[in-house]
Copies of this chain bind each other. A is one copy, B any other.
Amino acid sequence: MGLIVQKYGGTSVKDAERVMNVARRVVDAYDKGNNVVVVVSAQGDTTDDLIEKAKEINPDASKREMDMLLSTGEQISIALLAMAIEKIGRPVISMTGWQAGFKTNSHYSVARIHSIDKDRIQNELDKRRIVIVAGFQGINKYDDITTLGRGGSDTSAVALAAVLHADVCEIYTDVDGVYTADPRFVKNAYKLDDISYDEMLELASLGANVLHNRSVEMAKKYHVKLAVKSSLNNHEGTYVKEVEQVEKMLVRGVTRDNDCARVALCGIEDTPGKAYQVFALLSKSGISVDLIIQSIGNGTKKDISFTVTEADLDTAAKILTDNKDVLKFDDIKTRKDVSKVSIVGAGMMNNAGVATTMFEALYNDNINISMIATSEIKISVLVDQKDAERAVCAIHDKFML
């Protein structure tokens, strides 16, 4: 008895059979006396197909028109899911982003939610209707359609759960929950029953591929209890919430992220402000930098290395090369065949032995570390991509078994 927001991704509604399956799950929750709001993504490959159509006509189409185009994907899904629930015979209504009251800023393709005018949804819930909402989209102050960018549907769901004060926001995906490592290649990986927002944030940004960071950040900010579950079975899933620290269990997960590339500026002048100059240039072009390492320097020269996503590598290298005269460095080196392997766990850094244990695991498996970065709740190392899976397994088994 309560209010549940459910979110289903594109693979969960990819065809008629899957849509009916989701409809039955939604009705199950509704029949238990809950009010249910459902957020859905575009079906399977719809978004990619639409992008393909656009590219054929104009690879440099404006983002406004891309959003106009892409938002149809979710609109198709909500209508089909509503029809499936009508077939089972429950009262239901679908709503596009703008009908559901999603107001965003005007950054087409990466819009942020400003507010949600929940009147219409609340009104429909009061009539005991199931409400199906198109994820990933809203409108800006000009009444133009915007999309929220990667992970947008998760964000839509969490934002709705926040404004509606839902009891839980259930994120349905094709995995059972959050695992200690990727079960596809770590045979001893196991599912976590719960995890804190901060730990989930680190796992999400480290390539765990379950929840998008923005949605977790928002869940943390508005105290929305998240549940990550599979849409294909009835297993318990993983809860993301404020968890009291269990001192014993320091490391919560081991992750690998192949989408990173390393840039090394060698022999850069060892004068104040160099790091600022480098990263200001990159951030002006919208390039996010992840791990950063600076050698101590000898008073004349030093080295600065950092990682970016593979997509940003060429742009980053070009910007720095174009500014070689200003930045004054000897050489720039780039590498794509690297992976970031990380361990995450709240309170981990209070325990001096954790980093040592991680490095020991890698050493035992003869894996070379090329960069190291640490934060309150994670330790990341950069390794050769070919060694990454082996590294995850070695670290996982060392900590988790």
Q: Which A residues contact B (CB, under 8 angstroms)?
A: 16, 19-20, 50, 53-54, 56-58, 60-62, 64-66, 68-69, 71-72, 75-76, 78-80, 82-84, 86-87, 93-94, 96, 99, 120, 143-145
Q: Name, among A50, A53, A120, A144, the residue most crowded by chain B CB atoms within 10 Å (CB to CB).
A: A53
In the assembled complex, how far is the CB of residue A40 from the closest CB belonging to chain B, in whole angstroms?
Answer: 13
A82 to B53 Cα, complex, angstroms: 13
- Which among B66, B78, B79 is the interface contact of A54 at CB below 8 angstroms? B79
Report yes or no: A16 in contact with B83, Cβ–Cβ below 8 A: no
Report yes or no: B75 in contact with A62, Cβ–Cβ below 8 A: no
Report yes or no: A20 in contact with B72, Cβ–Cβ below 8 A: no
Report yes or no: B16 in contact with A87, Cβ–Cβ below 8 A: no
A71 to B94 Cα, complex, angstroms: 13
In the assembled complex, how far is the CB of residue A168 from the closest CB belonging to chain B, in whole angstroms?
Answer: 27
A19-B57, A54-B80, A143-B99 are known contacts. Are A86 and B62 too (CB-CB below 8 A)?
yes
A320 to B60 Cα, complex, angstroms: 61
A144 to B78 Cα, complex, angstroms: 13
Determine the chain B residues whose CB is within 8 A of the CB of A86 once the complex forms: 58, 60-62, 65
Determine the chain B residues whose CB is within 8 A of the CB of A144 once the complex forms: 99
Report yes or no: A83 in contact with B99, Cβ–Cβ below 8 A: no
18 of the cross-chain contacts (CB-CB < 8 Å) are: A16-B53, A53-B76, A53-B80, A54-B80, A54-B83, A60-B87, A61-B83, A61-B87, A62-B82, A68-B94, A68-B96, A69-B75, A69-B79, A71-B75, A72-B72, A72-B75, A96-B145, A99-B144
In the assembled complex, how far is the CB of residue A98 from the closest CB belonging to chain B, in whole angstroms?
Answer: 8
- List of 3 A-B pairs having minimum Cβ-Cβ separation, nearest first: A69-B79, A61-B83, A72-B72
A62 to B143 Cα, complex, angstroms: 27
Report yes or no: B53 in contact with A66, Cβ–Cβ below 8 A: no
In the assembled complex, how far is the CB of residue A253 from the closest CB belonging to chain B, in whole angstroms?
Answer: 38
Determine the chain B residues whose CB is within 8 A of the CB of A120 once the complex forms: 143
In the assembled complex, how far is the CB of residue A341 from the closest CB belonging to chain B, in whole angstroms?
Answer: 41
A61 to B81 Cα, complex, angstroms: 10
Determine the chain B residues whose CB is within 8 A of the CB of A80 once the complex forms: 53-54, 57, 69
Determine the chain B residues whose CB is within 8 A of the CB of A61 once the complex forms: 82-83, 86-87
Report yes or no: B50 in contact with A76, Cβ–Cβ below 8 A: yes
A82 to B99 Cα, complex, angstroms: 24
Report yes or no: B72 in contact with A58, Cβ–Cβ below 8 A: no
A16-B53, A53-B80, A65-B82 are known contacts. Are A87 and B58 too (CB-CB below 8 A)?
yes
